[in-house]
Amino acid sequence: MSFFRKTIYITLLLLLCLCLFCQSAQAEETPAPASTPAPTPTPTDTPVFQAATPVPFLRLRRSLLPTDRDRYYDKRTGQYVVFGSFGPEDDGAFYACGEDGTVPCGAEPLPMADFLVSPYAPEQRPKQDGDRWLTVYMGSESVVCFIARDGDWEVERVMICSCSDAVHQTPLGMHYIYSKYAYKAMTRMNGIMVYAQYACRFRGHYLFHTVPIGGDSNRRYQKYGKKQMLIEEYEKLGQPASHGCVRLLVGDAYWIYKNCDRGTKVQVVTDAGPTPPEPPALIYEEPYMNADHTLGWDPTDPDRENPYREVYPEWFTN
């Protein structure tokens, strides 16, 4: 190869290297393109209220009148309400709504008790507001007083009781109160006649009354007898223990005596009803009971001399 050709080849090779070097330098100086920003997430949709029909076992108040568009008109409050939820995970409830049936997002549900009748309420419709009905639930040893308001029964008071023991039987079925006694001799227990306060007779020799009163001969007089309640029998409240009557706390027996007129219906069933409140605890010392813990005061007795008045003031507010 001639010297001239070699010179040309060397020159071309040098030019090629120079071009490659320039391209590499330019690539280092050129900034990398910016990364593509992530797409902005689409905001979740505002939950929409879905109206529904209350399930059949919910007993609606008679004051709740159905209208169009799944709405109800509440005669008691004069407002429209609708039943439903804001999503499949929410429990159905009543909400206040506009005249067009719409419920704004974020609305709070209304208390269900304002629109439902208690599942324990009597099936028989009350004749007039203010009527009362007593149901004795032997299965739960409880007594419930229902009162009629706006054409329906409402639970007014739940009371603990003791019904019949294994030998005797509280009469089942429908009865009514037809006589009352502030203080009454009841039956013999352990060889002595026992007494009871605020007795209301509902069938034959079956009554609502307080825990039996024993003690000395002064028990024949209410003033002295109320201090001689049989402690052992008080401790049986909430269990079958009576000779067929329905034993109650003094405070509850007194309430029935004062508030349930003659003619008040009494229903006795073997079913369990609402769980009753526990009876107030006794204090095992004088002056609440005697030294041997056999006789004493009922903590709910409304008598002004009751030493429990300062211990359980909630029982004496009314």
Number of domains in the chain: 2
Among the candidates 87, 114, 141, a domain finishes at 114
pLDDT at 36: 60
Confidence of residue 17 (pLDDT cuts 50, 70, 90): low
Does residue 124 fall inside a structural domain? no
Same domain membership, residue 175 and residue 89: no
Give the separation between CA 202 and CA 39, rounded to whole angstroms: 78
Q: Is 309 helix (H, G, I), strand (E, B) or coil?
A: helix
Mean pLDDT of the chain: 88
Indicate if 190 and 294 belong to the same structural domain: yes
Last residue of a domain, one of 114, 148, 164: 114
Shared-domain flag, residues 109 and 227: no
CATH code at 245?
A: 2.40.440.10
In this model, does residue 142 exceed pLDDT 70? Answer: yes
Interval 223-271: pLDDT, tens: 999 999 999 999 999 999 999 999 999 999 999 999 999 999 999 999 9
Q: CA-to-CA distance for 248 and 245, rounded, in angstroms?
A: 10
What is the pTM assigned to this prediction?
Answer: 0.80
Tell me what pLDDT residue 27 has: 47
